[in-house]
């Protein structure tokens, strides 16, 4: 049975990829993921704010007091060429590449255009096979139109693409007025893949301390419905590969995503909840189902239930909503 697939030009032994998570901060965990069947690993993210802050701190310490001796400025290198701290991330990429035989995909998290995107080049030089650009932003400016935000995101992608030759995937939020259009813009700007979707961690209010606190919740299988719909809609309408993330916990979840049109399925919450060994469970469930239903390869089923090839293309659009509400009403539900 052939589980192999292609993502970002990389030949993978299966569609099961470990998504960016704290698990990848430990080299032993990355090796365990490979042993458990992960076809590739997306490393934890390095953030735009980290890069900006460390550049600022470096500049501060290199130039502090030198205004008294102007000639002293010439003794120091240009601070834009130096990184401190984030060097650990580059070393982690190098160690992961040396310790494993699977592709290592770095993750760069940001939302605004700036010099921090140059760090992508160093990620490539460290040996990363590809880069996942995580565009994570909560816009709160009442005067900023959606089109301006979209342009900002596309400009960030173009800046990163200009820095590297390795493939770049973009991890998107589902919260766009016209997601199909922004997907096309990213595709036109050179994205090798679209990862669907980003999960925004919603804050909570702690009543005892009267503080706003972060609240990290694992995904549930219900979360897969949104990316599955959009992957099915976009399959073969854009050139970029489609990666499914969020809500993938079982082998059947992964199979549904592949039939919708995903090249790979990414697991995070399932591994945090059940352990890295759960990758073996998911793969075996995929094999069992494929054997029972006489599928011999992942390629054979890819996109078979996408909007393009579905018997009822309206199933992924508004018509299906009307139908679902009608069925719910007939069963005695309240619409």
For residue 63, is pLDDT > 90? no
Confidence label for 140 from pLDDT (cuts 50, 70 and 90): confident
Which are the contacts of 129, defined by CB distance < 8 A and separation ≥ 6?
Answer: 10, 40, 103, 104, 105, 166
- Mean pLDDT of the residues in the chain: 88
- The rounded Cα 242 to chain-centroid distance in angstroms is 10
d(CA 134, CA 12) in angstroms, rounded, equals: 22
202 vs 71, more confident: 202
For residue 75, is pLDDT > 80? no
Is 120 within 8 Å of 90 (Cβ atoms)?
Answer: no
Helical spans, DSSP H, in the chain: 27-36, 48-63, 87-99, 119-125, 146-163, 179-188, 225-234, 251-260, 269-274, 278-292, 298-301, 318-330
Residue 129 token pair: 């096979």
> What is Dmax (Cα atoms) for the chain?
83
Confidence label for 82 from pLDDT (cuts 50, 70 and 90): very low
pLDDT at 329: 57
* Topology of the domain comprising 5-304: TIM Barrel (3.20.20)
Rounded to an integer, the average pLDDT of 62-90 is 52
For residue 6, is pLDDT > 70? yes
pLDDT digits (tens, 9 = 90+) for 279-293: 999 999 999 999 999
pLDDT at 310: 84
pLDDT digits (tens, 9 = 90+) for 294-326: 999 999 999 999 999 987 877 787 756 666 666
The domain ranges of the chain are 5-304, 307-335
Which are the contacts of 264, defined by CB distance < 8 A and separation ≥ 6?
Answer: 5, 7, 12, 15, 16, 17, 39, 40, 241, 243, 244
For residue 61, is pLDDT > 60? no
pLDDT digits (tens, 9 = 90+) for 18-35: 999 999 999 999 999 999
pLDDT at 218: 85
């Amino acid at each position: 049975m052939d589980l192999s697939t292609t993502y970002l030009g990389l030949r993978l032994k299966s569609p099961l990829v470990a998504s960016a998570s704290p698990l990848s901060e430990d080299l032993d965990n990355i090796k365990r993921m490979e042993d458990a069947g992960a076809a590739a690993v997306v490393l934890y993210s390095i953030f735009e704010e980290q890069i900006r802050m460390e550049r600022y701190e470096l500049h501060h310490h290199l130039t502090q007091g030198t205004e008294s001796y102007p000639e002293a400025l010439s003794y120091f290198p240009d601070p834009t060429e130096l990184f401190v701290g984030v060097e650990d991330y580059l070393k982690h990429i190098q160690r992961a590449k040396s310790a494993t035989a699977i592709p290592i995909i770095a993750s760069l998290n940001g939302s605004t255009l700036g010099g921090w995107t140059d760090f992508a080049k160093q990620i490539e030089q460290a040996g990363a096979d590809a880069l996942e650009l995580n565009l994570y932003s909560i816009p709160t400016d009442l005067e900023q139109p959606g089109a301006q935000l979209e342009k900002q995101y596309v400009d960030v992608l173009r800046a990163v693409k200009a820095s590297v030759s390795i493939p770049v995937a973009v991890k998107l939020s589902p919260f766009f007025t016209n997601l199909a259009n922004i997907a096309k813009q990213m595709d036109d700007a050179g994205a090798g893949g679209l990862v669907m979707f980003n999960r925004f961690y919603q804050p909570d209010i702690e009543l005892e301390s009267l503080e706003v606190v972060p609240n990290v919740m694992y995904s549930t299988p219900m979360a897969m419905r949104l990316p599955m719909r959009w992957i099915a809609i976009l399959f073969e309408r854009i050139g970029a590969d489609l990666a499914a993330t969020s809500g993938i916990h079982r082998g059947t979840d992964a199979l549904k995503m592949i039939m919708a049109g995903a090249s790979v399925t990414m697991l995070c919450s399932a591994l945090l909840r059940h352990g890295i060994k759960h990758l073996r469970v998911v793969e075996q469930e995929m094999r069992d189902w494929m054997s029972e239903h006489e599928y011999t390869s992942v390629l054979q089923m890819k996109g078979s239930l996408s909007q393009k090839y579905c018997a009822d293309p309206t199933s992924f659009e508004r018509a299906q909503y009307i139908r679902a509400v009608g069925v719910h009403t007939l069963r005695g539900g309240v619409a």
